[in-house]
Homo-oligomer: A and B are copies of this chain.
Amino acid sequence: MPRARLRDLGLSTGFLPTGRWNAITDVPGVAVGYATVIRDEPAIIRSGVTAIWPRREGIWSDAVFAGVHSFNGNGEMTGLAWLAEQGILAAPIGITNTFSVGCVRDAISAFAIREGAPQMFHLPVAAETYDGWLSRSETFPITAEHVFAALDSAASGPLAEGNVGGGTGMICHEFKGGTGTASRIATSAGENFTVGALVQANYGAREMLRVDGVPVGREIGPSLVPSHRPPARDTGSIIVILATDAPLLPIQCQRLARRAATGLAWVGGFGANGSGDIFLAFSTANHVREGEPCTDVRMLAPDRMTPLFQAAAEATEEAILNALTGAETMTGRDGCIAHALPLDALASVMRRYRPV
């Protein structure tokens, strides 16, 4: 059975409608690019870089508002002090493996210089999850060129999922994990807003995995499909990037980011100790322009936020599931195999729990 998105399997979760591509790129202006590094020499590498542009055009001098929530901070996201202070994002975001997060961070600065960004001073956001069970990432395989390639290749429209970009070597609920995306349309204040999620999913115990409430992970136990068990089962992480075109202030982006914890919980993640579960939300609706002394901005009323919160939780949930249904079985270092979530078994379990 070929890999597919959750909805292509006739499955879905949540209440709200999706955007056109059911992807973070449904938020106008958002673009995503990947550099995927899969090679066996000189060391086995299963890694990469994911680049997310809040605006593909002009971000260096036309910033967006943003906010962060660290649900379990056993991970790295650079730029946190700046985001907490200013709530502003003026560069693309990079996601990669744990050992390369510094490289990606500096390379985004270098890219800004290359592009002639008007400001010399950058505090880029680069985040990571750990792929060391499949990849010899301690050899520091990611270079600035990979980062430039991911940034340069970014596009809107449908996105590849699973073993791509920073998500290449990830493991999730003891199945092969990776990159996933989804989106939701939320109606509030008489307008339709889009909330999109992109995740790099690398966390979780198999028996906790649920799909629309059905205990899929308990049913597809290790006797059915072998588990790739890391030394400490709770080691892993998930990075969630949320984008919206709803007009949110920085403090409201922080609120939106917190709802990734809800979507994560619905799939079965609870922030195990070793998990770096860090969530960033940005809103493209406002424009903070370099050199402008005072800016007119729009704010959705706080009491109109609820549909957006639901959308953020639902999009996160489905993005993780898309990473699982999209990722293919991968063999990595030391002969380790991370098995994909078997789609036929998934379908069969979902049928068994269908209400009578």
Indicate if A313 sits at the interface (CB-CB under 8 A): yes
Asked if A92 lies at the interface with its beta carbon under 8 angstroms from chain B, I say no
- Asked if A115 lies at the interface with its beta carbon under 8 angstroms from chain B, I say no
Q: How far is the CB of A234 from chain B (nearest CB, A)?
A: 4
Task: Tell me whether A8 is interfacial, beta carbon within 8 Å.
Answer: no
Docked-complex contact A273 and B305, CB < 8 angstroms = yes
Q: Quick check: B310 and A106 within 8 Å, CB to CB? A: no
**Across the interface, do B298 and A294 meet the contact criterion of CB distance under 8 Å?**
yes
CA distance A102 to B272 in the complex (A): 27
B72 touches A255 (CB 8 A): yes
Q: How many copies does the complex hold?
A: 4
Closest chain-B Cβ to A229's Cβ sits at a distance in Å of 14
> Known: A82-B76, A262-B261. Is A302-B273 also a contact (CB below 8 A)?
yes
How many residues of A sit at the interface, in one of the four size bands? 35 or more
Q: How far apart sit A87 and B254, CA to CA, in the bound complex (Å)?
A: 12
Instruction: Give 9 nearest A-B pairs by CB, closest first.
Output: A213-B213, A73-B81, A102-B102, A73-B85, A189-B293, A265-B265, A102-B106, A102-B105, A262-B265
A210 to B317, CA, bound (A): 15
Determine whether A149 belongs to the interface, using a CB cutoff of 8 Å to chain B.
no
Give A202 Cβ to nearest chain B Cβ, in Å.
12
Nearest residue (CB) in B for A261 is B261
Q: A residues bordering B, Cβ < 8 Å?
A: 15, 70-88, 98-107, 109-110, 113, 120-123, 126, 130, 132, 138, 140, 188-191, 207, 210, 212-215, 219, 232, 234-235, 247, 249-251, 255, 258-259, 261-262, 264-266, 269-274, 276, 278, 288, 292-306, 309-310, 313, 352-356
- List the B side residues contacting A79 at CB < 8 Å: 76
Known: A213-B215, A305-B273. A84 touches B102 (CB 8 A): no
Contacts of A80 in B (CB 8 A): 73, 80-81
CA distance in complex: A219, B219 (Å) = 24
* Contact of A302 with B88 in the complex, beta carbons under 8 Å: yes
Q: Which residues of B contact A78 (CB under 8 A)?
A: 76, 78, 101-102, 105
Find out whether the CB atom of A106 lies under 8 angstroms from the CB atom of B140: yes
